[in-house]
């Protein structure tokens, strides 16, 4: 629900200013294209473009002074609302950036931790004697099939994209590493104890380094996210971008009262006919 309060114009001379107030309410549904390359650490800046496109739009100066976000918007399970920002393109075009980011904790606990655990469980294959190649291959295949089934669950639950996300790359490369360990255990025989030990000591640090590399990327992306907006239940979070409405109206009344009639007439063009166009003041509530 977007509620816009627009103080449209001032009509009259400098001695008798008259302000006209118009209130309009909108029920709006927005569609947003999300960039998921860093999923589940994706951060988005959806922009609401507010433009004046009527005949006298050139005489107006569109400015946004207040943005209020209700606490209901901050209770989403998957996303968190961040502090919004305003970008003024020109006097008739303003963008409101409603910054939001995904909550990655669920994906870290439910997906990343389980995938990392299965990678380390693959090392238990080396505990089977090197002579028992069939048992090693059977155990490895069982774990790999488990990882494939887990990957199917992840694909069904994560957002669909035409490219691989950060989470997709982590799971895919981890699965490829596990397949490599399965092949390495199958190549060893009864007399290849030293080779088998070498494969183990190559696989262990490889898995550790790979997971540390992913953890470093995830930590950097997490730290780059702005602070989450905290709003008490039933309350509004207010953000001011410039002078308050009362200050703006008081300033305009003083400037109009101190202006000379001829200067006011020259500025408005036809002030005597009540045609002075005043700077509009916009308040947007979301």
12 and 93 together in one domain:
yes
167 and 266 together in one domain:
no
233 and 220 together in one domain:
no
Say which CATH number the domain at 182 has: 1.20.58.390
The pLDDT score that the predictor gives to residue 92 is 81
Cα 235 off chain centre by: 22
- The strands making up 85-90's β-sheet, listed across from edge to edge, are 47-51, 93-97, 85-90
137 and 52 together in one domain:
no
β-strands 281-285, 93-97 pairing: unpaired
Decide if pLDDT at 245 tops 60: no
172 and 203 together in one domain:
yes
Distance, CA of 240 to CA of 82 (rounded, Å): 15
157 and 259 together in one domain:
no
Domain count, the chain: 2
Residue 237 or residue 256, greater confidence: 237
β-strands 64-70, 281-285 pairing: parallel
218 and 128 together in one domain:
yes
212 and 132 together in one domain:
yes
220 and 256 together in one domain:
no
| Burial classification of residue 273, based on how many CB atoms lie within 10 Å of its CB (0-12 exposed, 13-18 middle, 19 or more buried) | exposed
Average pLDDT, the chain: 76
Decide if pLDDT at 266 tops 70: no
114 and 196 together in one domain:
yes
Cα–Cα distances in angstroms (integers) from residue 64 to residues 9, 61, 185, 279, 280, in the given order: 15, 10, 66, 11, 9
The pLDDT score that the predictor gives to residue 123 is 92
Last residue of a domain, one of 224, 248, 277: 224
Mean of pLDDT values over 124-140: 88
Residue 242 or residue 63, greater confidence: 63
List, for residues 26-67, the tens digit of each pLDDT value.
666 777 788 899 999 998 888 888 887 777 767 777 777 778
Decide if pLDDT at 105 tops 60: yes
β-strands 2-11, 236-240 pairing: unpaired
Percent of the chain with pLDDT over 70: 71
Confidence band (pLDDT; 50, 70, 90) for 120?
very high
The pLDDT score that the predictor gives to residue 234 is 65
List, for residues 193-239, the tens digit of each pLDDT value.
788 888 899 999 999 999 999 999 999 998 887 777 666 666 777 77
Mean of pLDDT values over 95-105: 86
Last residue of a domain, one of 172, 196, 224: 224
Buried b vs exposed e over 126-157: b needs ≥16 C-beta within 10 Å? bebebeebeebbebbeebbeebeebbeebeee
The pLDDT score that the predictor gives to residue 268 is 39
The pLDDT score that the predictor gives to residue 64 is 75
List, for residues 173-194, the tens digit of each pLDDT value.
999 999 999 888 888 766 677 8
118 and 170 together in one domain:
yes
Decide if pLDDT at 265 tops 80: no
Decide if pLDDT at 261 tops 50: no
Domain residue limits at 57: 2-99+227-285
Q: Residue ranges of the alpha helices (H) in 103-258?
A: 105-107, 113-121, 133-157, 166-187, 193-224, 245-258
Cα–Cα distances in angstroms (integers) from residue 217 to residues 15, 20, 119, 209, 269, in the given order: 64, 54, 19, 12, 61
Instruction: In the chain, count H helices and then E strands.
Output: 7, 11
149 and 58 together in one domain:
no
Confidence band (pLDDT; 50, 70, 90) for 1?
very low
Last residue of a domain, one of 178, 205, 224: 224
């Amino acid at each position: 629900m977007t509620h816009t309060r627009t103080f449209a114009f001032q009509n009259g001379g400098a001695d008798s200013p008259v302000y006209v107030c118009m209130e309009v309410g909108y029920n709006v549904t927005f569609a947003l294209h999300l960039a998921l390359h860093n999923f589940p650490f994706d951060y988005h800046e959806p922009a609401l473009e507010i433009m004046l496109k009527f005949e006298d739009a050139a005489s107006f100066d569109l400015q946004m002074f207040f943005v209020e976000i209700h606490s209901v918007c901050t209770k989403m399970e998957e996303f968190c609302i961040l502090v919004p920002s305003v970008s003024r393109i020109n006097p008739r075009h303003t963008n409101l950036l409603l910054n939001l980011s995904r909550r990655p904790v669920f994906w870290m606990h439910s997906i990343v931790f389980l995938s990392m655990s299965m990678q380390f469980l693959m090392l238990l294959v080396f505990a089977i004697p090197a002579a028992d190649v069939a048992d090693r291959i059977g155990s490895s295949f069982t774990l790999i099939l488990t990882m494939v089934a887990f990957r199917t669950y992840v694909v069904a639950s994560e957002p669909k994209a035409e490219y691989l996300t950060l989470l997709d790359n982590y799971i895919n490369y981890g699965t490829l590493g596990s397949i490599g360990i399965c092949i390495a255990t199958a190549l060893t025989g009864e007399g290849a104890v030293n080779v088998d030990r070498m494969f183990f000591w190559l696989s262990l640090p490889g898995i550790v380094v790979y997971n540390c590399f992913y953890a470093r990327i995830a930590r950097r992306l997490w730290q780059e996210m702005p602070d989450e907006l905290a709003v008490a239940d039933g309350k509004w979070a207010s953000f001011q971008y410039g002078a308050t409405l009362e200050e703006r109206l008081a300033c305009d009344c003083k400037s109009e009262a101190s202006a000379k009639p001829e200067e006011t007439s020259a500025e408005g063009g036809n002030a005597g006919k009540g045609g002075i166009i005043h700077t509009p003041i916009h308040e947007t509530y979301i």
